[in-house]
């Protein structure tokens, strides 16, 4: 199943920029350029059709859509981090799991 999702890098760039209120600080934390963070956030806004950040002279402010997305990203990234930590601390069996999709009716 293919999902039309924003790029993970763009979501992470927005999360850090929205949390810090600064493209510059986000770039430092992500080890990328300020322009890369700004571009990724702008592309995310274009894809969503919403302004997520209000650009002020020396800082960024979240729009209402930005607050909703930032909250969801914090929860999602926290869940991913906990899951990864759990897997690292409690390794699963080393056996492989095979997943197969049922053929679609159109394939027959």
Determine the Cα–Cα distance for residues 17 and 91; give it in Å rounded to an integer: 34
Residue 102 in domain: no
Per the structure, the complete domain to which residue 15 belongs is given by: 8-83
Residue 61 in domain: yes
Query: What pLDDT score was predicted for residue 100?
Result: 65
Q: Is the pTM of this model over 0.75?
A: yes
Residue 76 in domain: yes
Domain count, the chain: 1
Bridge partners (DSSP) of residue 61 are 54
Residue 107 in domain: no
Residue 2 in domain: no
Residue 14 in domain: yes
Comparing 88 with 97, the larger pLDDT belongs to 88
Confidence band of 55 (pLDDT split at 50, 70, 90): very high
Residue 15 in domain: yes
Determine the Cα–Cα distance for residues 28 and 22; give it in Å rounded to an integer: 10
Domain of 77, CATH number, reads 1.10.10.10
Query: What pLDDT score was predicted for residue 4?
Result: 86
Determine the Cα–Cα distance for residues 12 and 70; give it in Å rounded to an integer: 10
What average pLDDT does range 29-46 have in this prediction? 98
Residue 105 in domain: no
What average pLDDT does the structure give for the chain? 90
Determine the Cα–Cα distance for residues 72 and 6; give it in Å rounded to an integer: 14
Query: What pLDDT score was predicted for residue 25?
Result: 98
């Amino acid at each position: 199943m293919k999902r039309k999702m924003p790029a993970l890098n763009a979501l992470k760039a927005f999360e850090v920029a929205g949390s810090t209120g600064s493209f510059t600080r986000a770039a430092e934390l992500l080890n990328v350029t300020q322009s890369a963070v700004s571009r990724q956030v702008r592309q995310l806004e274009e894809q969503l059709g919403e302004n997520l950040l209000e650009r002020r002279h020396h800082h960024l402010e979240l729009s209402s859509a930005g607050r909703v997305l930032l909250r969801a990203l914090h929860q999602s990234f926290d869940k991913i981090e906990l899951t990864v930590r759990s897997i690292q601390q409690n390794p699963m069996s080393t056996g492989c799991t095979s997943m197969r999709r049922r053929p679609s009716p159109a394939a027959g």
